[in-house]
């Protein structure tokens, strides 16, 4: 910390080419400063331990919808403009959709949009404080964007747990004519 103090002192001093004056410290001052630093570090560690067991804090006012996406065309190295995007949530009586089953009426459309020149979709859902935990699906009309590609459309299905209802979910699609990738961004 002393090195950082000296560097900051030099950075903000009027005479940058001269070393800052450092007064010699008495043994009592050194011991007091050391105790102060240990107390500060201890407070940070205690706060981190308490936070790990506590409920996750959330921002009470969202500045963007809790689920967002964008599409990047990795074959061209640029954002994908004009791709239709649809966000849906599973609302059937069944607890969750099962792999390999065909469902027609279980998905409820929350919103739709198209990507802009930056590859970002418009608002796909209303601004809500807490997300409803459940299964969500984002679908992209990639066949219209790239008619000669392998994927006529892409659907990404993901689950939001009760403990994640305050989180933000950014689910991007990285697309080329014959491959795709996705991840949970921030």
Distances (CA, A) of 113 to 70, 87, 123: 11, 9, 7
| β-strand pairing of 71-73 with 173-176 | parallel
The CATH architecture of the domain made up of 67-92+105-182 is Sandwich (2.60)
**pLDDT means per 10 residues in the chain (186 residues)?**
75 57 57 62 52 51 85 95 94 71 78 94 86 92 94 94 90 95 90
CB atoms near residue 38 (< 10 Å):
10
Query: Rounded distance, CA 66 to CA 184, Å?
Result: 13
Look up the pTM and report it. Answer: 0.65
Binding-site residue numbers for substrate are: 70, 120, 183
Binding-site residue numbers are: 70, 120, 183
What pLDDT score was predicted for residue 27? Answer: 57
Name the residue ranges covered by the structural domains of the chain.
67-92+105-182
What pLDDT score was predicted for residue 26? Answer: 58
What pLDDT score was predicted for residue 48? Answer: 47
């Amino acid at each position: 910390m002393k090195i950082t103090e000296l560097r900051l002192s030099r950075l903000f001093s009027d005479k940058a080419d001269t070393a800052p004056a450092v007064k010699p410290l008495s043994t009592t001052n050194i011991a007091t400063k050391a105790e102060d630093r240990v107390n500060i570090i201890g407070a940070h560690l205690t706060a981190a331990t308490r936070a790990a067991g506590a409920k996750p804090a959330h921002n009470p006012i969202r500045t963007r919808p809790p689920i967002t996406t964008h599409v990047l065309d990795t074959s061209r190295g640029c954002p994908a403009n004009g791709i239709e995007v649809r966000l849906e949530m599973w609302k059937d009586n069944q607890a969750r959709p099962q792999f390999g089953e065909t469902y027609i009426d279980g998905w409820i459309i929350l919103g739709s949009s198209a990507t802009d020149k930056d590859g970002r979709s418009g608002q796909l859902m209303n601004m809500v404080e807490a997300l409803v935990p459940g299964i969500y699906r984002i679908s992209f009309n990639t066949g219209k964007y790239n008619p000669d590609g392998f994927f006529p459309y892409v659907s990404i299905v993901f689950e939001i747990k009760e403990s994640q209802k305050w989180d933000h979910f950014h689910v991007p699609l990285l697309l080329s004519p014959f491959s795709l990738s996705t991840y949970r961004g921030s």
